[in-house]
Amino acid sequence: MRPALGILLGVLLLASAGAAFPPQQQAQQPPPPPTAPPGTVQNPQAPLTVVRVSEVDMILAVVNRGQKFITDLEKSDFRVFEDNQQQEVRFFARQTDLPLRVALLLDTSNSIRSRLQFEQDAAIDFLYNVLRPERDQAFLMIFDSEPEVVQGYTNDLEVLKNSIAAQRAGGGTALYDAMVRASQMLVNAPLPKSGPAEVRRVLVVISDGEDNLSSLTRADAIDTAQRSGVVIYSISTSIQWIVPEESTDPNKRFNRKFAKTDGDKVLDAFSTETGGRAFFPYRVDDVAQDFLDISTELRSQYLLGYAPANGALDGKFHKVKIEIPGNKDLEVRTRKGYYAVPPVVVTRTMGGNPGQ
């Protein structure tokens, strides 16, 4: 059994519970590890699985120029570089059916009041296109002046739908604080009751990307997601600089961004740095196919493992690049790197929430 690095690092981070993030003026320093969310219940009687960790795990997807997912590649097809130094791939596997743990982060601030219905429709459509009730779970967090969990982890789509539909807009915008808290909750996501202790952690942000009240920074939000092994998918609610454009499909008309707002660029950075994607739709119909693509992507991934050649356990961020030599038509989607921390003993503890 080999958990993905995100799970392993997550447990390491929880060992530092109680550490505070630095104030905003010190944002250039990486924030301390996230702590477990308040009210977390763990069952000391649950079975434990102990694993020693010494490798870096990279989860990735590969697409061609037509954005079709390529799922038949072999270990020999990939080259991995850390800080521009080639690494030896020691582990390779196709991961096509891991359970998902999804954090749905909904902006309910005054800045998106006119687009709240769009947000609600997009969130509901995402869940119905991506979530499999028999295997996956999600929770709903809203944020205006501060983040609030309005529905904890559940696999009940109707419960999630009703919670989304009940939200109203008002207040300031604390996006970065909400993203940090959502990543912390994903670290402590309920694991499957049986089989490998592995899940795919996904954060879906539906917002205009603006922030005017957070005590934390954009760097804090990205760092926490990277440390937690979280992939971020962003859906922009901004409709500035939109122009109509005809699709090559005669049955479909869509709108395209002519230029990105500052908030759009923030959302784009969140997704790019964590191996996800950002979307800039005008109508919910414009992202219906994107949601299906995300569902396919999350179940069409590879896992590469390697032991860093330099062995530097310095706690710093190390850049990772994965290439497919000799095939320029293929694009690798993955996170940009990882934080190097000492090997740890990881204890799998089954929480009070029901795993699937």
Q: What is the CATH number of the domain that holds 135?
A: 3.40.50.410
Same domain, residue pair 185 and 124: yes
Q: Could you tell me the maximum CA-CA distance found in the chain, to the nearest angstrom?
A: 59
CB 154 within 8 Å of CB 137: yes
pLDDT at residue number 275: 92
pLDDT at 6: 43
Same domain for 123 and 214, yes or no, is yes
Quote the pTM value: 0.74
Q: Do residues 279 and 287 lie in contact, with contact meaning Cβ atoms separated by under 8 Å?
A: yes
> Are 152 and 279 in the same domain?
yes
- CA dihedral for 38, 135, 234, 274, sign (positive or negative): positive
- Res 243: pLDDT: 60
In this predicted structure, what is the pLDDT of residue 114? Answer: 92
Nearest-10 crossing angle of helices 157-165, 116-130:
170
Helix (H, G, I), strand (E, B) or coil at 50: strand
DSSP string, 199-245: -EEEEEEEE----SS-SS-HHHHHHHHHHTT-EEEEEE---TTEEEE
Split into its structural domains, the chain has a count of 2
Which range marks the domain in which residue 186 is found? 100-298
Q: Is the domain of 147 the same as that of 209?
A: yes
* Pair 117, 264 in one domain: yes
Residue 260, CA distances (Å) to 256, 263, 280 in order: 10, 8, 9
User: Could you tell me the two tokens for 157?
Assistant: 């789509």
Q: Are residues 59 and 171 in the same domain?
A: no
**Pair (217, 318) in one structural domain:** no
One domain for residues 184 and 328: no
Return the half-sphere exposure (C-beta side, CA atoms, 13 A cut-off) of residue 268.
Answer: 10
Q: Which strands, in side-by-side order, build the sheet including 337-339?
A: 85-87, 79-82, 317-323, 337-339
Residue type, 89: V
Which pLDDT does position 314 carry in this prediction? 83
CB 63 within 8 A of CB 356: no
Distance between CA atoms of residues 179 and 105, nearest Å: 8
pLDDT at 153: 98
User: For each successive 10 residues of the chain (356 residues), what is the average pLDDT?
Assistant: 42 36 37 42 36 70 89 95 95 87 97 93 93 94 97 97 96 97 96 87 96 95 91 91 57 63 95 92 82 85 90 84 94 88 45 40
Asked if the structure places residue 31 within a domain, the reply is: no
In a domain, 25, yes or no: no
Q: Identify whether 208 is part of a domain.
A: yes
